[in-house]
Amino acid sequence: MKEPFFLQRYQKVERNELPAKYRISRSIPVTFEKTASLDELWYTHRLKIQDYRKLLTSIDTDGHNSYPIITNSSLIDLKIAILEKIIEKCHFCERRCYVNRKRDQKGYCRIGAISRYASEFLHTGEEPELVPSHTIFFTGCVFSCVYCQNWDIATHPQKGMIADPAELAKLIEKRHKQGARNVNFVTPTPHPHTVIKIINNLSVNIPVIWNSNMYHSKEIAELLEGVVDVYLADLRYGNDCCAKKYSKVDEYMKVVTENLTHAYSNAEILLRHLVLPGHLDCCTKPAVEWVATHIPHVRFNLMFQYTPHHLAYKYPEINKPLARQEMEKAIEIVLSSGLEDVLV
């Protein structure tokens, strides 16, 4: 396998040649009142993110991996304070349910303020440049994919273990010593308040991976800058109709492409496209064309792992494996797109 072209910073963090982005954010001192309004907190964040960007540029230019760690109030603490406000009128994702999850009100994801995870382990089945990856599988989801292979944990958010930030941070450090090349938060969209608290408890330099359907809100996109090193992102569909039919989600293309564009501006992306049977013209081709036009410098993984799970039996057109001819045509689409960094 050829080395990825566009994950160079990630690889330097992994080798401890550069600090993970969260460590840079933790070195940005911020003074704020937790009782301040959400607007006031956002104003402070938009000022201080400029300091983060300047320091990031300086560190990446000079190649330094050591700098002071702020132990009291940092940019990460400010992000947590904002998330604690947002969850009271929850708009972590673009469904924007506006429920108060602190009062155990439930929106589409059916999750209160307490996050749970189904499993964590050293995963050897991810992309070669990621493994072994310390994957933490959160329960619940903001999508309802009819073919979901993880439907048992996606549809039962009340299952699993409570995600205690301090305990999980210790576990991440343990897995790092065991050889984990990164920490990989799977289905984090309903849980950014917990994920960033976990990260704020870390003492190791480890790349942070946001393994996501990219349907988070624009506010969360803003907060993830300075936290996420690599977006392990799905671009599943090439139009809104298929997204609505198979994942029960609205405005898919607008939301996901805007989030991918934002991520492209401040992090690295390993983009996955799972080829669905019968969806080359409506999904694969337009998805690949969008990537090649708008975010070409990404690691692109063309995936043929689709198997019908969960409720796929209700949809005859996808209740079958991919045909060999579809795989060959999908490869042709990607190779003719001009994308430089392709994994098949």
212 beta partners:
233
Q: What is the pLDDT of residue 277?
A: 98
Q: What pLDDT, on a 0 to 100 scale, did the predictor assign at position 311?
A: 93
Beta bridge partners of residue 183, listed in sequence order: 134, 208
Report the C-alpha gap between 130 and 27 in whole angstroms. 26
pLDDT, residue 34, reads: 85
Q: Label residues 76-106 b or e (16+ Cβ within 10 Å = b).
A: bbbbbbbbbbbbeebbbbbbebebebeeeee
**Each residue's pLDDT tens digit, 223-278:** 999 999 999 999 999 999 999 999 999 999 999 999 999 999 999 999 999 999 99
Assign 70 a pLDDT band (cuts: 50, 70, 90).
Answer: confident
> Does this model's pTM top 0.95?
yes
Q: What is the pLDDT of residues 173-229, one digit of tens each?
A: 999 999 999 999 999 999 999 999 999 999 999 999 999 999 999 999 999 999 999
Q: What is the mean pLDDT of the chain?
A: 96
**Greater pLDDT, 63 or 71:** 63
List pLDDT tens digits, range 151-178. 999 999 999 999 999 999 999 999 999 9
pLDDT tens track for 31-57: 999 899 999 999 999 999 999 999 999
Q: Which domains does the chain have, with CATH numbers?
A: 8-343 (3.20.20.70)
Predicted pLDDT at 1: 56
pLDDT band at 64 (very low <50, low <70, confident <90, very high): confident
